[in-house]
Structure 1
Amino acid sequence: MQKILPLLFIFFSTTAFAARITGTIKDDKGNALPYASVSIKEKGSGTTANQQGYYSLELAPGDYTIIVQYVGFARQEKKVHITGTGMQLDFELKPSQLQLKDVVVSSNGEDPAYAIIRNAIKKRQAYHDALDSFTCEAYIKTLIKTRALPRKVFGQKIDSADWKQMGVDSAGKGVIYLSESLTKIAFKKPDKIKLEVLSGRESGSNGFGFTIPTFIDFYTNNVQIMGGQFAPRGYVCPIADGALNFYKYHFLGSFFEDGREINRIQVIPRRKYEPLFSGTIEITEGDWRIYSVDLMLTKESQLEILDTVKITQIHFPVTKNVWRTKNQVLYFTFNKFGIDAVGNFLNVYNNYDVTPAFKKKFFNNIIMQFDTGVNKKTAAYWDSVRPVPLEQEEIKDYKVKDSIYRYQRDSSFTKRYRDSLRRMQGKISVMNVLWNGFTRSNYNPENYTTIQWQPLLKQVQYNTVEGLVLNGEATFSRGFPSINRELSFTPHVRYGFSNEHFNAYATLNYHNRSNWRGISNDADDNTSSFRSNNFSLSGGRRISQFNKGNPISPLFNSIYTLFFNHNYMKIYENKFLQFDYYGTSQSGLKYAANLLYEDRMPLDNTTDFSIIKYDNKKLTPNYPYEKMDSQFIRHQAVIAGISLSYQPGQKYVQFPNYRVPLGSKYPTFTLSYQKGFNKIFGSDADFDKWNFSVTDDMNFKLAGQLNYRIDIGGFLNDKSVFIQDYRHFNGNQLIFASRYLYSFQIAPYYANSTTAAFYTTLHAEHHFNGLLTNKIPLFKRLNWNLVAGTNAFYVNGNNNYVEIFGGLENIFKLFRVDVVGSYLNGKNGQVAVRIGLGGLLGGKIRLN
């Protein structure tokens, strides 16, 4: 007790006598200056005003100098004496009084801004490398609001209940996302970084909020915005080494603050539709540092998805010779599909330490780590650490949505609430069964059970073996939230009306659900991490393609058979039993092992029906006729396989209960091996097959991105290899592109399949991401981008293939069109067009 009393006395003394200073920051016309920077000169820390120009900070008794800054306005200082009571301290800033200093204009009439920019370019690298290491704290607030919403998006109706859940009014206006977080940042040269998220809050949920501090570094040649998601090429910095080739500059004048002369320079892109900023940058005279930036990106800057992005920054001295970013605001607007939204990311950086002492092995492959209590902080805690006062609409949003969330969470264990959620799912209609599909849940957080039905009509197929094919599939899942696992059972039935075969099989999965959402996020167990061990057992009777890579979509095969008399897909029937084990180790090593038994039975064509008949086109037999003279004989095969995949230098985000990989600057290496066992369970197979691959995506910023995949492999033993177990090179004879980097876009499906002792393949494509096309008048407005590359394989002099392609992607952000030319076995092949998905959105879509 004797030790505790003095501590309590100190605590109550400091809190009792600390005073709160509040006030507003406006211009000389009475308009609020949103997100103005407020600094305490004696402490090197401060706060930021909110969007209405209101600020608040707490100070212990003493004398202080309060400094207020806003881009484009003269900084203002006020000295205050703090006692034990609060005080009101308002600021009225006036626009900076720019002076056009006497300058010597060169004989070619060059604007004086160019000399200032050249000096800043010379100092850029030195300022970029000024610190060997540092730590700081970043407060991030993210706000997204809608100004209008449509009643339908992509044909899906948005009813009043959906609007209410989003938090918008009857006009479609309101806050749809609000979060704040506090993160400690640690950095050490050359590229070591660690982010420790101390607290995070998300309105209406127990999420962690937007917690990644977006350091937008204007001392780099290539400036990345939002992680490059909306502009993978990045943007040319106004003081980059080659900036004079991209920008024009205009000297607007200079002003003095705290004894320093500040030059304001207008930044003007030399050409439209280049990745360039426009706006102003302020550079200090003599030492040529960045003082502030106020820069804009638009569609003419090759900005994707978003309509505009505006970035403001204020820099300040952390020490006499070291300056860092004090606050940063990124504003954006979005107006697509009838959705009119605006938002901002506010970052406030405080408590810089430029001489930190890091513990041994402090920097590791975890670059971002969440505290176990990150989302469990109280409202009082946030009031104490928040450097930016909340707006009235933000206070209301937290109050309303958090109360709804607490009610739903607390009610989730009551039968009444679960019954209401089940009723909201509605009745299962005929339309649900045939076309829409449906998912139904019991909404029990302790025994979470779901049923997911796949619509029947969307699974209808047609082929020359089975004729019209009906498929039925449903998945029954049982969740175990306390251990982050799920058990699912998926039966599948299939009937062919022409060959009158009925096939049925089922799959049992037991796998991780580490990122469980909406069930039990309150678990304190931190043991699941990124490690996972998953099991799958399946068996029954099914239809399979000869190439297990399934190069031909059943839907596209149906279209080509019915309308063009091409039955490209070759299938066989098999009774099978398969066990799969797969997972990821703590180090990021991915592994998989499987054991397969198949009793393989041949199938022949039973129908030649097609909607359109062509006299000169004949249907082909239902087997790889390019490699076989006749149908295969029924046989059995027992095959075991193992694969290992590893990407060195993998980085991770460590959440309280799971880990997420972020990738690496190194390629991914994968080694796989398959063994066909002879005379086990009647198996007729006897082979050993291996494959080693290297894949990588290399971002060259302004020069675009190169993606490649290299494979080598072969058969160590080929005593008894059936066509199903050959090394098949995924061909494609449809106008629809097959999977890029894994396929040969105009190669035959089976003509080059092999059991050779060695083969090698190459897939490479370069995405120009706006390079070159931004010089062409039409394309630069559309943001359609060039893509080019090659696919090739080599087995021997009689079995080799090369194709070269070039095309356009990002067509309507979704589509890609290529012209492909090929050489097969050293002879001219063909030239064809392929249409696929590619671009900002299309490149992220995978079709089954």
Structure 2
Amino acid sequence: MFQLSLSAQGIRGSIKNQKGEALPFASVYITNLNNGSSSNANGDFEIKLPEGKHTVVVKYIGYEAQQVQFEITDSWVQRDFRLGEQSFALKEVQVKGKGEDPAYTIMRKAIAKKKYHLLQYDSYQMKVYVKGTGELTNAPFFLKNKLKEEGVKLNEAYTVESVSEIKFAQPNKFEEKVISIRTSGDNKGTISPMSFVSASFYNDKVVEMVSPLSRSAFAYYKFQYEGSFQEGNVDVNKIKVTPRSRGDNVFEGYIYIIEGYWAIHSLDLKTSMMGFPIRVKQNYAEVAPAVWMPTTHQFHFSGKVMGFGGEFRYLASSSDYKVVLNKKLVAPKEIIDEKVEEVPEAIAAIKSNNRNPNLEALANQDKLTRKQFRQLIVEQEKEALKERKDPEVVSERSYTVDKLATKRDSAYWDSVRPVPLSDKEIKGYQRDDSLAQIKSAELTGKDSTKVIKKRKFKPQDLVMGGGYRLSPRTRVTIDPTFANVYYNTVEGWNVNLSGKLRHQYDSLRRSFEVAPTVRYGFDSETFYGKARVSHAVRSKGKSHLLYLDGGKFVDQFNSDNPIHPHINTLSTLLFRRNYMKIYEKSFVETGFEYKPSVWLKVSGNLEWSQRNQLYNNTDRSFFYTDEDRTFTPSTPDNVELESTEFPKHEALVLQANLSYRPVQRYRMYNGRKIPIMERSPELLLMYRKGVSGVLGSDVNFDQVQLGINHALAFGVRGKLEFELRGGTFLNSKSMYFMDYNHFDGNRTILSSMKPAGSFRLLDYYQYSTNGSYFSAHTHYQFRKFLLTQIPEVRFTGIKENVFLNYLKTQHSPHYYEVGYSLDNVFRVFRIETAASFHDRSFQEVGFRVGIATLLNFRQR
């Protein structure tokens, strides 16, 4: 166990305003050590320091900073700070043109220099202390007991802490080594501050939100100059940031810019994401000559969704900066805002363009226009990027954990923790330490303290479901049968009993799985059963899956199962609409999926089946009668066939699929390449063959299909998704209706979880074809469109989408759908309205409810 000496020395005290009110999380910075810390929620601070003379700077946004020199001997120095409110001077400015606010000149110069601030060092390293504390403040009443059983309690603190060493090297390489970590219960867990600490406001976006220093900032923000103050030897400008349209993904608040250097001094901004409010505060310090970097970060998240409420506070303190400057980077002493300031003739005479920049002339000037300066920095960056070994890698991350990281004792944490724990946080750690024993026993199988309550089989588990751990790597799961009771016109009420046996060989890399299902239909008085056996291997970015499936079961004519049995149950019983069409299949199927890389996937399957037609055995429904609405037969209607009925037959069908993404970009993580999938379209190829004469097969056909999926981002939260499919049957000598190409139709109130890839009003089987076909789906999401012009609507997280779907087959009219949707309603739902057309003829209008696209559900 790591031990710490009890002797200690440093500075401690409190930070308050002139009224004696605590200033929580104020910045405390030791300039001679590049050591940053902060006060706690009560304004108290404590920093351990070596003997000698030190200089401390105490800052709190909106208050005058204080700088004090002191000497540390062999004991603690007690120092209380009382900060006065910051007074701002409105400096004299020469207003030109249309009376533009001077904030715009300040921000234009800061934006022009933002890339310089990102490139002014070759590398740096620092130490970061991170603490995140979250509380669940509310939950639906019917889930409170369940959450309590799982160890989650309301209004209790769940805290994570870590101390890490961070190293950065240009152009985008981060190394993080966790020296110590303490987290909720699970001693193997880790947290990384880098997703926030490394999110620089000099970038165009900060975690998907537009930075006030973005190249497109003036399209999203208005700026207002609110005065300046002097701190040390620099003048600091206070700029009010106001979004042109409030809502998600834009900031409002204040940013402070250092005059002449045009660097960030501090910021206090708020924003929202998906309707959840976020507050961000940062204080910067000069960690190297003319290099200002953040020393303290504060983030506050809160919100409510579906009856759950909570908040999370995140604090990071950066210290021990060691910066290696970029000596090749050249910058002028002064930047000219050519929009409102006069440009000297000698500067204006320097002619250059993007193809032939006059770098030598630009680099030798003491003054440059914003445009010239940006051009100079971009060319210097290009020269540096030419030296990169792997241009496909856009960023590199490495993350390691010291072997003693989870073994630090309380004395260690008391020595490094700049912000003392609250009473809630102390109680939370006591609770989590006991939970950690249970989780450790579950993972290792060693239960010497008898903390695991092993679950035993109970007869009611067949109804309610349950899970049983046979060993640390082997688990049996029984699905809840009550949730798998369905109704259709062929079987009437049917009950499905299913489960899974899963064995993991070696930490999820290899696994074996058996999944049986038994089904009984009460009106058809028929038992069905099937089972799937699979083996999966994952290793170094590659994976492959082998499976064998077989039995006697019911299947939808469209094997993609376009209508869920639960939806069909409601539709049939409540509205007397039996949309789901099924037949009986005795089958054996074998298949594989092979991914030699994330960009390429090859899969295939071979199935032999004996197919039997099924007939309706019941006409019961809760509402309507046969005189009002008649149930349709168990075979679908189709424009190409007078009847889709079929005789008992055998079929041997082979299918091969290829998926490829040609644009390959990666992020490196611990030496492993992580693909950036959204930068590349997905190209698809499918071939399907009905094999005649083998094993009694009665089918003979050949189908080929091409497709493409892609998504493009525009501005803030503007996103276009599209999916195109086209194909034909090269041979259709002998086919049955289930062999046709079917489309993802919908006739129920519920919409698909594929907003770009499904029809809203199309009949499930009306236009199924064995000829040529083409389908197209487009879906565009706006940040601001109609209702979202209203700020109060945007603050709820609601988005607006429009979509257009198209289908044409060899024997169908041109089919169109146009629609509009409100997305992320109550942060969960998507409400759609759509209109359909055949050629130029209007058909119908319908309404649909689906899952919000922001939840990123995808079906493939």
TM-score by length of 1: 0.82
Q: Who is 1:182 aligned against?
A: 164
Q: Who is 1:310 aligned against?
A: 279
Query: What secondary structure is seen at the aligned counterpart in 1 of 2:716?
Result: helix
In structure 1, distance between residues paired with 2:600 and 2:833 = 38
In structure 2, distance between residues paired with 1:730 and 1:385 = 61
Change over 3 Å in CA distance of 1:92–1:661 after alignment to 2: same
Equivalences for residues 417-816 of structure 1 within 5 A: 420-422=452-454, 425=455, 428=458, 430=460, 432-434=461-463, 437-442=464-469, 444-445=471-472, 447-456=473-482, 458-481=483-506, 484-511=509-536, 528-611=539-622, 612-615=624-627, 617-626=629-638, 627-630=640-643, 631-647=645-661, 648-649=663-664, 651=666, 654=669, 663-702=677-716, 704-738=718-752, 739-756=754-771, 758-776=772-790, 779-780=793-794, 783-796=797-810, 798-816=812-830
Change over 3 Å in CA distance of 1:805–1:579 after alignment to 2: same
In structure 1, distance between residues paired with 2:161 and 2:816 = 52
- Bigger shift: 761-770 or 31-40? 31-40
Q: Which amino acid aligns with 2:458?
A: I
- Say whether residues 1:391 and 2:421 are aligned partners: yes
Deviations 1:421-467 (A, max 9, x none): 12xx477364x544xx221323632x5332323223x3222222223
In structure 2, distance between residues paired with 1:608 and 1:135 = 74
Q: Which amino acid aligns with 1:213?
A: S
How many pairs were matched up? 783
Deviations 1:222-255 (A, max 9, x none): x43xx34xxxxx346278655487436251x432
Deviations 1:711-755 (A, max 9, x none): 233334434333222221222222322343222211222232223
- Say whether residues 1:209 and 2:239 are aligned partners: no
Task: Indicate conservation of the 8 Å contact 2:36/2:296, yes or no.
Answer: no
In structure 1, distance between residues paired with 2:302 and 2:812 = 58
Q: Give the drift of 1:574.
A: 1.0
Q: Give the drift of 1:391.
A: 1.9
Q: Give the drift of 1:331.
A: 1.6
Task: Indicate conservation of the 8 Å contact 2:11/2:49, yes or no.
Answer: no
In structure 2, distance between residues paired with 1:160 and 1:808 = 31
In structure 1, distance between residues paired with 2:630 and 2:247 = 51
- Bigger shift: 627-636 or 403-412? 403-412
Deviations 1:121-165 (A, max 9, x none): 233132234333544446252423438445xx26224269548x3
- Say whether residues 1:278 and 2:259 are aligned partners: no
Query: What secondary structure is seen at the aligned counterpart in 1 of 2:64?
Result: strand
Deviations 1:273-327 (A, max 9, x none): 5754333222223343321111223xxxx65353x32211112334434333232
Change over 3 Å in CA distance of 1:368–1:633 after alignment to 2: farther
Q: Who is 1:519 aligned against?
A: none
In structure 2, distance between residues paired with 1:161 and 1:564 = 40
Q: Which amino acid aligns with 1:353?
A: V
Deviations 1:504-554 (A, max 9, x none): 111123335x8xxxxxxxxxxxxx444333232211101111111111222
Deviations 1:79-121 (A, max 9, x none): 34456x343252514235414345368699969xx20342222
Identify which of 383, 399, 407 aligns with 1:370: 399
Q: Give the drift of 1:419.
A: 8.4
Q: Which amino acid aligns with 2:166?
A: K
Residue identity over aligned pairs, in percent, reads 24
Query: What secondary structure is seen at the aligned counterpart in 2 of 1:131?
Result: helix
**Unpaired runs of 5+ in structure 2?**
327-383
Q: Which amino acid aligns with 1:218?
A: F
Q: Which amino acid aligns with 1:174?
A: E
TM-score by length of 2: 0.81
In structure 1, distance between residues paired with 2:81 and 2:794 = 44
- Say whether residues 1:833 and 2:846 are aligned partners: yes
Query: What secondary structure is seen at the aligned counterpart in 2 of 1:421?
Result: coil
- Bigger shift: 411-420 or 259-268? 411-420
In structure 2, distance between residues paired with 1:529 and 1:635 = 44
Deviations 1:759-805 (A, max 9, x none): 33211111114444232487456554321011113344855422111
Q: Give the drift of 1:636.
A: 1.8
- Say whether residues 1:123 and 2:155 are aligned partners: no
Change over 3 Å in CA distance of 1:202–1:716 after alignment to 2: farther
Task: Indicate conservation of the 8 Å contact 1:238/1:247, yes or no.
Answer: no
Q: Give the drift of 1:359.
A: 9.1
Identify which of 130, 147, 156 aligns with 2:143: 156
Q: Which amino acid aligns with 2:850?
A: L
Task: Indicate conservation of the 8 Å contact 1:19/1:82, yes or no.
Answer: no
Change over 3 Å in CA distance of 1:157–1:638 after alignment to 2: same
In structure 1, distance between residues paired with 2:401 and 2:685 = 37
- Say whether residues 1:98 and 2:87 are aligned partners: yes
Task: Indicate conservation of the 8 Å contact 1:120/1:239, yes or no.
Answer: no
Task: Indicate conservation of the 8 Å contact 1:686/1:718, yes or no.
Answer: yes
- Say whether residues 1:75 and 2:104 are aligned partners: no
In structure 1, distance between residues paired with 2:685 and 2:412 = 50
Q: Give the drift of 1:588.
A: 4.9
Identify which of 425, 429, 432 aligns with 1:401: 432
Query: What secondary structure is seen at the aligned counterpart in 2 of 1:119?
Result: helix
In structure 1, distance between residues paired with 2:396 and 2:448 = 44
Task: Indicate conservation of the 8 Å contact 1:19/1:61, yes or no.
Answer: no
In structure 1, distance between residues paired with 2:190 and 2:734 = 56
Task: Indicate conservation of the 8 Å contact 1:589/1:644, yes or no.
Answer: yes
In structure 2, distance between residues paired with 1:149 and 1:779 = 24
Q: Which amino acid aligns with 2:755?
A: Y
In structure 2, distance between residues paired with 1:360 and 1:35 = 42
In structure 2, distance between residues paired with 1:728 and 1:810 = 30
Deviations 1:449-505 (A, max 9, x none): 32323223x322222222332222222333435564433322212222333322111
Query: What secondary structure is seen at the aligned counterpart in 1 of 2:757?
Result: coil
In structure 2, distance between residues paired with 1:703 and 1:147 = 28
In structure 1, distance between residues paired with 2:35 and 2:726 = 58
Q: Who is 2:334 aligned against?
A: none
Query: What secondary structure is seen at the aligned counterpart in 1 of 2:617?
Result: coil
CA RMSD of aligned residues (A): 3.9
Query: What secondary structure is seen at the aligned counterpart in 2 of 1:805?
Result: strand
**Unpaired runs of 5+ in structure 1?**
1-14, 229-233, 515-527
Q: Who is 1:518 aligned against?
A: none
In structure 2, distance between residues paired with 1:407 and 1:600 = 51
Task: Indicate conservation of the 8 Å contact 1:125/1:219, yes or no.
Answer: no
In structure 2, distance between residues paired with 1:585 and 1:548 = 27
In structure 2, distance between residues paired with 1:256 and 1:801 = 68
In structure 2, distance between residues paired with 1:281 and 1:74 = 16
Deviations 1:310-364 (A, max 9, x none): 2111123344343332322112333556655332222334435345899955984
In structure 2, distance between residues paired with 1:570 and 1:537 = 25
Query: What secondary structure is seen at the aligned counterpart in 1 of 2:679?
Result: coil
Change over 3 Å in CA distance of 1:259–1:355 after alignment to 2: closer
Change over 3 Å in CA distance of 1:451–1:587 after alignment to 2: closer
